[in-house]
Amino acid sequence: MTRRITRLDRGGRLIDRARDITFCFDGRRIPAHPGDTLASALLGAGHVLQGRSFKYHRPRGPVAAGAEEPNALVTLGGRARMEPDLRTTTTEAFDGAEARSQNRWPGLGLDLLAINDRLSAFMPAGFYYKTFMAGRSWEKLFEPIIRRSAGLGPAPTEADPDSYEQAYAFADVIIVGGGVAGLAAALEHGRAGARVWVLEQTPHWGGRAVVDAEADGATIDGLAPEAWVKAALAELEALPNVTLRTRMLAAGLHDHAHLIALESVADTTPGADLPRQRLWRMRAGKVIVAAGALERPLSFPGNDRPGVMLASAVRDYIVNWAVSPGKRIVILTNNDDAYRTALVALDAGIAIPAILDLRKTPNGPLVQAVRDRGVRILPGHSIAKVLGSKQVKGIALCRHESRGEAWLERIPCDAVAMSGGWSPTVHLWSHCGGKLAWDTEAAFFAPDPDKPPLGADGKAMAQCVGAAAGALRLDACLASAMSAAPQVETPAEEPIQPVWVTPAEAGPHLRAKMWLDFQNDVKVSDIQLAAREGYQSVEHAKRYTTLGMATDQGKLSNINGLAILSQALDQPIPATGTTTFRPPYTPIGFGAIAGEARGEIFQPLRRTAMDAWHEDQGAHWEPVGQWRRPYCYPGKAEPHSAAIEREVLAVRNSVGMLDASTLGKIIVKGPDAGRFLDMIYTNMMSTLAVGKCRYGLMCSENGFLMDDGVVARLSEDTWLCHTTTGGAEAIHAHMEDWLQCEWWDWKVWTANVTEAYAQVAVAGPNARKVLEALGGVDVSREALPHMSWTAGPLGGFDARIYRISFSGELGFEIAVPTSQGMALWSRLLEAGKAFDIRPYGTEALHVLRAEKGFIMIGDETDGTVIPQDLGLNWALSKKKADFLGKRAHQRSFMASPDRWKLVGLESLDGSVIPECAIAPAPGENANRQRNTQGRITSSYYSPTLKRGIAMGLVHNGPDRMGEEIIFNADGKEVTARIVSPVFYDPKGEKLDV
Amino acid sequence: MLRLTCPHCGVTAEETELTPGGEAHLRRAGPDATDAEFESYLFARKNPKGVVFERWRHAHGCGKWFIAARHSVSWQVFGTYPAQTTEPPADLIETIRAAIPTWEGWQ
């Protein structure tokens, strides 16, 4: 690679020449100054080649100097701090930074995958679609190759060690962009007393105007723009109602002026004790978009060679960072602005061998100024070819109005500056529905002030000012931002001549060398091919060709691409329209989006009153809803299966205790509470006697089973509804929905008291003896029969005792205020010692209920199962005129007897059938998939029966008792017999003791 | 992210404080409904490109349900009112008509 140190001797308004720093690029040490970007320092060290293109691996250098950069992408940082796809043009250089080039193998200079470039004729637009639609075998052959050779930087594989913060802000006016237009708007609103935020994405204020004035000597109120900016900042900083922020990117504008912004806090000091980035969620009365404009490339053969750059970028590098992409720069333009680049280049001692102006008679003051300095200006001329491969070596001159085949002359040069005109940065305006209008004279889409994005009040919530509004000239720019605009002196400019392809009559061969989208390797010829193949909508053409995709989202390519598409379709540009502008403006890392919601605080953890005891006992935890519950209590070196077996047998043989505090508990109270519960539950709850409990089912209006649980009638007008652990909040919300929105005249109140009570299930043949050992209320068979409850002192606790069972054994659930939960738990353990009481976890609970044939919401149900499928017809009231789900159950397919229904399943060999097993049936369905006749819903090893037991939904299952069917899981077959789902104590004798 | 004002507690809430509940002013079809009526109640939604009446619950606030009338394209909010009603308030209907003379009405 040619290496020339191109740091200029003078200038560089943003760099601190007094200080030296170094960073690494592909292992080489690169000297830099504070204030450099990676791109400016690399150019300063002679490294124009900074990346490889996505598809063809063509060598690429930076084409821009800011956020719009498509080519110069690097991976920054190592291992866990690695971040891919960062633009060198916006990444600040810092001492010790490590950057690596991407999408090349083995290296950036010698990339063997560049063979793709030679094959480019075989990889036109739609290559991926055409390849992958050809069939599965092609996919197998091509996919690994394409995955390796096409792409951006690799994702990091280790957890990010940095912290990220999220913050909120509210303002009357948020101004996006800290150029002269943004600062003028800030003065306007700040002086008026509004709460103003000004966000600038770069570390510097002033934007383009301060750079351009170096060329054209423009003044604001008689001051150089740099001095005017300084004065404006001084005034704004003194206003307490104005907040100024640099390094803060406004990424997206959303509904009702909700702005997302990313602030870089410590990107250049990795490891510092600061959040690396801060993601802001801002709410504004109004958003003023002063985001400037983006220069467009020109489409000419070889326009992607390293060293071909936007004219404004060349100007920025010279003025801001004192670096130049070359010592001899040819300029190709269709407007006057590029002449500013010639002027700053000449001032910096850089040669301009020629300016090729696509217009026939350019003659504005800027043109004249350049001509006066003896520069050769060639109107109506263009570039037929860029000479050189990894670095520009010269250009072949031709007439613009030609096929580009006749070379008039070779002009040696080492860089080309191009300008195809400017496009206002309308992204934020468009994110939330602001419309655009095509300005034929200026050749750009500008915000249509009559069709702004609206706020909640129906009024405009965004406004564009300055270049973002299409006011490119400095005087118009400031006038658009401020009512009392300052006096501006700036040279006049002649109109742009829109040119979308040059040379104008270039044939297919040259059009295949004209890049539109540098990042995605989309050329003029690809868009024309897409149009020929029928992709006439701009959105379709985008997806077919990948124009405007990936990290730069077509900031440079979109307007040129849709102009080419319009030409191919022979329609005006506004008829083609733009693709949708979507947030974020530039990529945001996942770290900032996740913020602090990671690891232990990803979501809240709910703990019961006995949580610490479970922890002490070495419980293995299971997340249920946002709670954690003991899954089992394994002893030292005891496998979980052994612990579960021990816990199940403790309940069956003596007594066990379970922390049931997480079960949902909802109080429903009021004169109409019974009537209300009759609508919510499928069974009759209004007739439940005070002191009694009833197992109830809830269906959605669609008829599907939602939740279940035991309901206790506490008093004449009060019911307590138990729900599943995960369902408590949702069921409470469901009840409130119906109460507030349908039966709002019913006198009913609900309260979710789940966390107010700690609840302990004591189950097993010795359960009553444990309670009696505590002493207190009568819990005898006569005083407290199955499915009833009582309240009173128990071992000194103020307790409510429900005689209910989810295990099939004699069972009590004891509820006390949460503050008493741990004390009750300890007393029960103490009192149970004589009976060798054991705590049991959720898995033993599951096994116990499955042995008994009790269903579990979420196992036997999945949102498509109705109570009738589970043999729960007994819980569907026939007396009630109405309940939620009743009408749905009358639908023909739900009333049909021909459904998959719950049965027990016993493997013939006694093994545990895999939970994912499916029972195939003969034949195929309409999608040519194998027919099925059943599936497993729960499957366990039963310690009680010493064999595998399962429940499942089987086609017409209850009518097929004793039949053997084959289940299939992961290719293995298990034959199972259809049996009753109640494996244990079918007569319920154990319960009623 | 929308901002809506809860008519019960007066708080102007971020969308993250609210739970959506779909189209408002549906008429429940009970056990006597025909299949067509029940299907329409359960599944058919107007989803207009224009003025929508939506149920929202101030779930992380006062817990109350309300109805918002807003424009599905421009996001303009015409008003909010408690859900305990079978039809939008007359003054709100007037407000919408004034803003959109061609509005076809809420039914």
Query: Could you tell me if A450 lies within 8 Å of chain B, comparing CB atoms?
Result: no
Interface ipTM > 0.90: yes
Q: Provide, as residue numbers in chain A, all residues whose Cβ is less than 8 Å from the Cβ of B2.
A: 255-256, 456
The whole-number pLDDT of residue A667 equals: 98
Q: How far apart are CA A39 and CA A93, in angstroms?
A: 9
In chain B, which residue's Cα lies nearest the Cα of A432? B74
**Could you tell me the CATH superfamily of domain A887-993?**
Aminomethyltransferase beta-barrel domains (2.40.30.110)
Is B3-27+35-99 CATH 3.30.2270.10?
yes
The whole-number pLDDT of residue A55 equals: 84
Q: Has residue A517 got a pLDDT over 80?
A: yes
- What value does the mean pLDDT take over residues A961-982? 95
The answer to whether A502 touches A485, Cβ cutoff 8 Å, is no
Per the CB < 8 Å rule, is B42 touching A701? yes
Predicted confidence band of residue A150 (pLDDT cuts 50, 70, 90): low
Q: How far apart are CA A213 and CA A218, in angstroms?
A: 5
The whole-number pLDDT of residue A119 equals: 76
Predicted confidence band of residue A124 (pLDDT cuts 50, 70, 90): confident
Domain span(s) for CATH 3.50.50.60 in chain A: 164-294+424-482, 297-420
The whole-number pLDDT of residue A144 equals: 67
Per the CB < 8 Å rule, is B84 touching A454? no
In the CATH hierarchy, which fold is given to the domain comprising A514-569? Arc Repressor Mutant, subunit A (1.10.10)
The whole-number pLDDT of residue A137 equals: 59
Q: Has residue A4 got a pLDDT over 60?
A: no
Q: How far apart are CA A154 and CA A783, in angstroms?
A: 70
The rounded mean pLDDT for chain B is: 96
Predicted confidence band of residue A141 (pLDDT cuts 50, 70, 90): low
Nearest-Cα distance to chain A for B64, in Å, is 8
Nearest-Cα distance to chain A for B30, in Å, is 6
Name which of A458, A702, A742 is nearest B99 (Cβ-Cβ): A458
Predicted confidence band of residue A21 (pLDDT cuts 50, 70, 90): very high
Query: Could you tell me if A409 lies within 8 Å of chain B, comparing CB atoms?
Result: no
A988: which residues sit within 8 A by CB, 6+ positions away?
Answer: A808
The answer to whether B15 touches B3, Cβ cutoff 8 Å, is yes
Q: Has residue A166 got a pLDDT over 90?
A: yes
Terminal-residue alpha carbon distance, chain B? 27
Predicted confidence band of residue A111 (pLDDT cuts 50, 70, 90): confident
Predicted confidence band of residue A652 (pLDDT cuts 50, 70, 90): very high
Residue A836 CB coordination number (10 Å): 12
Domain boundaries, chain B: 3-27+35-99
3-state secondary structure of B12: strand
Query: Could you tell me if A604 lies within 8 Å of chain B, comparing CB atoms?
Result: no
Q: Provide, as residue numbers in chain B, all residues whose Cβ is less than 8 Å from the Cβ of A256.
A: 1-3, 75
Q: What is the pLDDT of residues A248-259, one digit of tens each?
A: 999 999 999 999
Interface test with A, best of B35, B65, B103 (most A CBs within 10 A): B65
Per the CB < 8 Å rule, is A736 touching B57? yes
Per the CB < 8 Å rule, is B75 touching A702? no
The answer to whether A448 touches A163, Cβ cutoff 8 Å, is no
Using CA atoms of A327, A331, A336, A339 in order, give the dihedral in degrees to the nearest 10.
Answer: 10
The answer to whether A771 touches A812, Cβ cutoff 8 Å, is yes
The whole-number pLDDT of residue A540 equals: 93
What is this structure's pTM?
0.92
CATH of domain A1-161: 3.10.20.440
Q: How far apart are CA A161 and CA A40, in angstroms?
A: 29
Per the CB < 8 Å rule, is A882 touching B99? no
A469 phi and psi angles, rounded to 5 deg: -95, 0
Three-class HEC string of A917-966: CEEEEEEECCCCCEEEEEEEEEEEEECCCCEEEEEEEEECHHHHCCCEEE
Predicted confidence band of residue A1 (pLDDT cuts 50, 70, 90): very low
Q: Provide, as residue numbers in chain B, all residues whose Cβ is less than 8 Å from the Cβ of A702.
A: 42
Query: Could you tell me if A887 lies within 8 Å of chain B, comparing CB atoms?
Result: yes
The whole-number pLDDT of residue A90 equals: 97
Q: Has residue A3 got a pLDDT over 60?
A: no
Q: Is the dihedral of CA A199, A202, A203, A204 positive or negative?
A: negative
Q: Has residue A865 got a pLDDT over 50?
A: yes
Per the CB < 8 Å rule, is A255 touching B21? no
Please give the structure tokens belonging to residue A754: 């789940």
Q: Has residue A564 got a pLDDT over 60?
A: yes
Number of CB pairs < 8 Å for A and B? 75
Q: What is the pLDDT of residues A358-415, one digit of tens each?
A: 999 999 999 999 999 999 999 999 999 999 988 899 999 999 999 999 999 999 999 9
Q: Has residue A935 got a pLDDT over 60?
A: yes
Query: Could you tell me if A891 lies within 8 Å of chain B, comparing CB atoms?
Result: yes
CATH label, A297-420, candidates 3.40.1350.10, 3.40.190.10, 1.10.390.10, 3.50.50.60: 3.50.50.60
A907: which residues sit within 8 A by CB, 6+ positions away?
Answer: A913, A947, A948, A950, A974, A975, A976
Burial (CB count within 10 angstroms: exposed 0-12, middle 13-18, buried 19+), residue A992: exposed
Predicted confidence band of residue A120 (pLDDT cuts 50, 70, 90): confident
Residues forming beta bridges with residue A109, ordered by sequence position:
none
Name which of B63, B76, B84 is nearest A456 (Cβ-Cβ): B76
Taking only residues 284 to 303 of chain A, the set having a beta carbon closer than 8 angstroms to any beta carbon of chain B reads none
- Rg of chain A in Å (alpha carbons): 37
The whole-number pLDDT of residue A133 equals: 62
Q: What is the pLDDT of residues A674-713, one digit of tens each?
A: 999 999 999 999 999 999 999 999 999 999 999 999 999 9
Q: What is the pLDDT of residues A787-836, one digit of tens each?
A: 999 999 999 999 999 999 999 999 999 999 999 999 999 999 999 999 99
Q: What is the pLDDT of residues B57-86, one digit of tens each?
A: 999 999 999 999 999 999 999 999 999 999
Interface test with B, best of A166, A170, A256 (most B CBs within 10 A): A256
The answer to whether A965 touches A954, Cβ cutoff 8 Å, is yes
Taking only residues 728 to 747 of chain A, the set having a beta carbon closer than 8 angstroms to any beta carbon of chain B reads 733, 736-737, 740-742, 744
Predicted confidence band of residue A2 (pLDDT cuts 50, 70, 90): very low
Q: What is the pLDDT of residues A752-798, one digit of tens each?
A: 999 999 999 999 999 999 999 999 999 999 999 999 999 999 999 99
Q: Has residue A70 got a pLDDT over 60?
A: yes
Interface test with B, best of A666, A740, A746, A878 (most B CBs within 10 A): A740
Q: How far apart are CA A324 and CA A858, in angstroms?
A: 66
Name which of A258, A456, A882 is nearest B31 (Cβ-Cβ): A882
Q: Provide, as residue numbers in chain A, all residues whose Cβ is less than 8 Å from the Cβ of B74.
A: 433, 454, 458
Is A164-294+424-482 CATH 3.50.50.60?
yes
Report helix, strand and coil shares of chain A as percent, to nearest 5. Answer: 25, 30, 45
The whole-number pLDDT of residue A608 equals: 98
Q: How far apart are CA A580 and CA A628, in angstroms?
A: 44
Q: How far apart are CA B51 and CA B101, in angstroms?
A: 12
Q: Has residue A138 got a pLDDT over 80?
A: no
Nearest-Cα distance to chain B for A283, in Å, is 10
The DSSP 8-state label assigned to residue B89 in this structure reads -
Query: Could you tell me if A594 lies within 8 Å of chain B, comparing CB atoms?
Result: no
Query: Could you tell me if A454 lies within 8 Å of chain B, comparing CB atoms?
Result: yes
Architecture of the A664-755 domain = 2-Layer Sandwich (3.30)
